[in-house]
Amino acid sequence: MIANNDYALFRLWIPLVLMVTLLAMIIVHRKNRLKYLYILNFLCFTLSVNVEILLRLDVIDFKSVDSRVALLMAGTVLILMFISYPMTLVSLSLFLVELSKRHTWAKVMVGLGIVLLGLGLAGITLYGLFIFFGAMYSLKFG
Protein backbone atom coordinates (compact mmCIF):
# COMPACT_ATOMS: atom_id res chain seq x y z
CA MET A 1 0.00 0.00 0.00
CA ILE A 2 1.45 3.32 -1.05
CA ALA A 3 0.88 5.98 1.61
CA ASN A 4 1.31 9.76 1.78
CA ASN A 5 0.54 10.79 -1.80
CA ASP A 6 0.97 14.53 -1.16
CA TYR A 7 4.03 14.95 -3.36
CA ALA A 8 3.58 11.98 -5.69
CA LEU A 9 3.40 14.18 -8.78
CA PHE A 10 6.81 15.86 -8.40
CA ARG A 11 8.63 13.01 -6.66
CA LEU A 12 7.30 10.05 -8.62
CA TRP A 13 5.27 10.70 -11.77
CA ILE A 14 7.11 13.64 -13.36
CA PRO A 15 10.49 11.93 -12.81
CA LEU A 16 9.16 8.79 -14.50
CA VAL A 17 8.07 10.83 -17.54
CA LEU A 18 11.43 12.61 -17.58
CA MET A 19 13.22 9.26 -17.38
CA VAL A 20 11.43 8.11 -20.54
CA THR A 21 12.36 11.43 -22.20
CA LEU A 22 15.99 10.98 -21.15
CA LEU A 23 16.01 7.45 -22.57
CA ALA A 24 14.83 8.82 -25.92
CA MET A 25 17.53 11.49 -25.76
CA ILE A 26 20.17 8.83 -25.02
CA ILE A 27 19.03 6.84 -28.04
CA VAL A 28 19.08 9.89 -30.33
CA HIS A 29 22.55 10.98 -29.14
CA ARG A 30 24.08 7.53 -28.79
CA LYS A 31 27.25 8.66 -30.63
CA ASN A 32 27.51 12.06 -28.95
CA ARG A 33 29.30 12.90 -25.70
CA LEU A 34 26.11 14.46 -24.30
CA LYS A 35 24.74 10.96 -23.73
CA TYR A 36 26.85 10.72 -20.56
CA LEU A 37 25.08 13.76 -19.11
CA TYR A 38 21.74 12.15 -19.97
CA ILE A 39 22.82 8.84 -18.41
CA LEU A 40 23.93 10.57 -15.19
CA ASN A 41 20.62 12.43 -15.03
CA PHE A 42 18.74 9.18 -15.69
CA LEU A 43 20.62 7.45 -12.86
CA CYS A 44 19.83 10.30 -10.43
CA PHE A 45 16.14 10.03 -11.28
CA THR A 46 16.23 6.22 -11.06
CA LEU A 47 17.78 6.28 -7.60
CA SER A 48 15.43 8.96 -6.30
CA VAL A 49 12.33 7.20 -7.67
CA ASN A 50 13.41 3.87 -6.16
CA VAL A 51 14.04 5.43 -2.74
CA GLU A 52 10.73 7.30 -2.96
CA ILE A 53 8.89 4.05 -3.71
CA LEU A 54 10.58 2.39 -0.72
CA LEU A 55 9.48 5.27 1.50
CA ARG A 56 5.92 5.16 0.17
CA LEU A 57 5.60 1.42 0.71
CA ASP A 58 6.26 1.98 4.43
CA VAL A 59 9.11 -0.51 4.53
CA ILE A 60 10.66 1.48 7.38
CA ASP A 61 8.51 2.82 10.19
CA PHE A 62 9.35 6.39 11.20
CA LYS A 63 8.57 5.65 14.86
CA SER A 64 11.01 2.77 15.20
CA VAL A 65 14.74 2.72 15.80
CA ASP A 66 15.31 2.89 12.03
CA SER A 67 13.86 6.38 11.80
CA ARG A 68 17.34 7.75 11.09
CA VAL A 69 17.51 5.52 8.04
CA ALA A 70 14.11 6.74 6.88
CA LEU A 71 15.14 10.37 7.36
CA LEU A 72 18.37 9.71 5.48
CA MET A 73 16.37 8.16 2.65
CA ALA A 74 13.99 11.13 2.55
CA GLY A 75 16.95 13.51 2.48
CA THR A 76 18.49 11.48 -0.33
CA VAL A 77 15.33 11.87 -2.39
CA LEU A 78 15.28 15.63 -1.85
CA ILE A 79 18.97 16.08 -2.66
CA LEU A 80 18.68 13.96 -5.80
CA MET A 81 15.62 15.91 -6.92
CA PHE A 82 17.46 19.20 -6.39
CA ILE A 83 20.25 17.81 -8.58
CA SER A 84 18.04 16.11 -11.17
CA TYR A 85 15.56 18.84 -12.08
CA PRO A 86 18.16 21.53 -12.96
CA MET A 87 20.25 18.89 -14.73
CA THR A 88 17.17 17.99 -16.77
CA LEU A 89 16.73 21.61 -17.83
CA VAL A 90 20.38 21.72 -18.89
CA SER A 91 20.05 18.38 -20.70
CA LEU A 92 16.93 19.42 -22.60
CA SER A 93 18.52 22.75 -23.53
CA LEU A 94 21.70 21.12 -24.80
CA PHE A 95 19.65 18.50 -26.65
CA LEU A 96 17.65 21.15 -28.49
CA VAL A 97 20.75 23.23 -29.24
CA GLU A 98 22.51 20.16 -30.63
CA LEU A 99 19.48 19.26 -32.75
CA SER A 100 19.11 22.85 -33.96
CA LYS A 101 22.44 22.50 -35.74
CA ARG A 102 20.80 19.97 -38.07
CA HIS A 103 17.03 20.57 -38.03
CA THR A 104 14.95 23.69 -38.64
CA TRP A 105 12.14 22.63 -36.30
CA ALA A 106 14.65 22.51 -33.43
CA LYS A 107 15.67 26.10 -34.21
CA VAL A 108 12.02 27.09 -33.91
CA MET A 109 11.79 25.24 -30.57
CA VAL A 110 14.90 27.02 -29.27
CA GLY A 111 13.43 30.37 -30.34
CA LEU A 112 10.12 29.58 -28.62
CA GLY A 113 12.00 28.53 -25.50
CA ILE A 114 13.90 31.82 -25.41
CA VAL A 115 10.66 33.77 -25.88
CA LEU A 116 8.90 31.78 -23.14
CA LEU A 117 11.86 32.23 -20.82
CA GLY A 118 11.75 35.98 -21.40
CA LEU A 119 8.00 36.10 -20.81
CA GLY A 120 8.37 34.03 -17.65
CA LEU A 121 11.09 36.27 -16.28
CA ALA A 122 9.03 39.36 -17.14
CA GLY A 123 6.00 37.83 -15.38
CA ILE A 124 8.02 36.99 -12.28
CA THR A 125 9.46 40.52 -12.26
CA LEU A 126 6.01 42.11 -12.56
CA TYR A 127 4.65 39.87 -9.80
CA GLY A 128 7.61 40.81 -7.58
CA LEU A 129 7.00 44.50 -8.23
CA PHE A 130 3.30 44.02 -7.44
CA ILE A 131 4.17 42.40 -4.10
CA PHE A 132 6.80 45.05 -3.35
CA PHE A 133 4.49 48.00 -4.03
CA GLY A 134 1.66 46.30 -2.13
CA ALA A 135 3.97 45.94 0.85
CA MET A 136 5.02 49.59 0.60
CA TYR A 137 1.37 50.66 0.41
CA SER A 138 0.48 48.62 3.49
CA LEU A 139 3.41 50.14 5.41
CA LYS A 140 2.15 53.61 4.57
CA PHE A 141 -1.17 52.97 6.31
CA GLY A 142 0.10 50.44 8.86
pLDDT tens digit sequence for 15-68: 999 999 999 999 988 888 989 999 999 999 999 888 888 777 776 666 665 677
How many residues are given for the chain? 142
Where are the domains positioned within the chain?
1-100, 103-142
> Looking at residue 1, what is its pLDDT?
44
Q: What is the pTM of this model?
A: 0.70
DSSP 61-103: -TTSTTHHHHHHHHHHHHHHHHHHHHHHHHHHHHHHHHHHTT-
Contact in structure between 103 and 28 (CB atoms under 8 Å): no
pLDDT tens-digit map of 72-124: 877 888 888 899 989 998 998 888 888 888 888 888 988 898 899 899 999 99
Tell me the C-alpha to C-alpha distance, in Å, between residue 89 and each of 86, 112, 129.
5, 15, 27
In this prediction, residue 71 has a pLDDT band, given cuts at 50, 70 and 90, of: confident
